[in-house]
């Protein structure tokens, strides 16, 4: 089993994950992810088999796909030009 030090670190990682989620998500998103985490703890597999490496592949590919979408959006924002500004701006 785990040592007390390993258990404490795992709990700290879990709490840190919850804090990151709370800072970056709205209440609905936070509840969704926290609910999925709870269901994983209770044994739900969400279509994956035990020790299935596909879950890590899916985690990575979804992050890359989502990050690319965010980068495209950021690029579009950077290309915006001010057409009409304040009268004080010359």
Task: Look at residue 6 in the predicted model and tell me its pLDDT.
Answer: 80
User: Where do the structural domains in the chain lie, given as residue ranges?
Assistant: 1-44, 50-80
**Confidence label for 2 from pLDDT (cuts 50, 70 and 90):** confident
Average pLDDT over residues 48-74: 84
Buried-exposed string 9-48: b where 16+ CB fall within 10 A, e elsewhere: eeeeeeeeeeeebeeeeeeeeeeeeeeeeeeeeeeeeeee
- H helix or E strand, kind and range, residue 15: helix 4-24
pTM of the model: 0.62
Round to whole Å and give the CA distance between 85 and 73: 23
Does residue 55 contact residue 44 with C-beta atoms inside 8 Å?
no
> What tens digit of pLDDT does each residue of 39-52 get?
999 999 999 998 89
**6 vs 21 pLDDT, higher one:** 21
């Amino acid at each position: 089993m785990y040592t007390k030090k390993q258990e404490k670190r795992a709990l700290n990682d879990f709490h840190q994950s919850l804090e990151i989620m709370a800072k970056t998500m709205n209440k609905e998103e936070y509840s969704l992810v926290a609910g999925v985490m709870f269901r994983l703890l209770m044994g739900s597999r969400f279509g994956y088999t035990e020790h299935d490496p596909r879950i890590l592949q899916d985690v990575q590919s979804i992050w890359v796909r989502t990050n690319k979408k965010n980068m495209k959006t950021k690029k579009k924002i950077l290309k915006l030009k001010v057409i009409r500004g304040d009268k004080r701006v010359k």
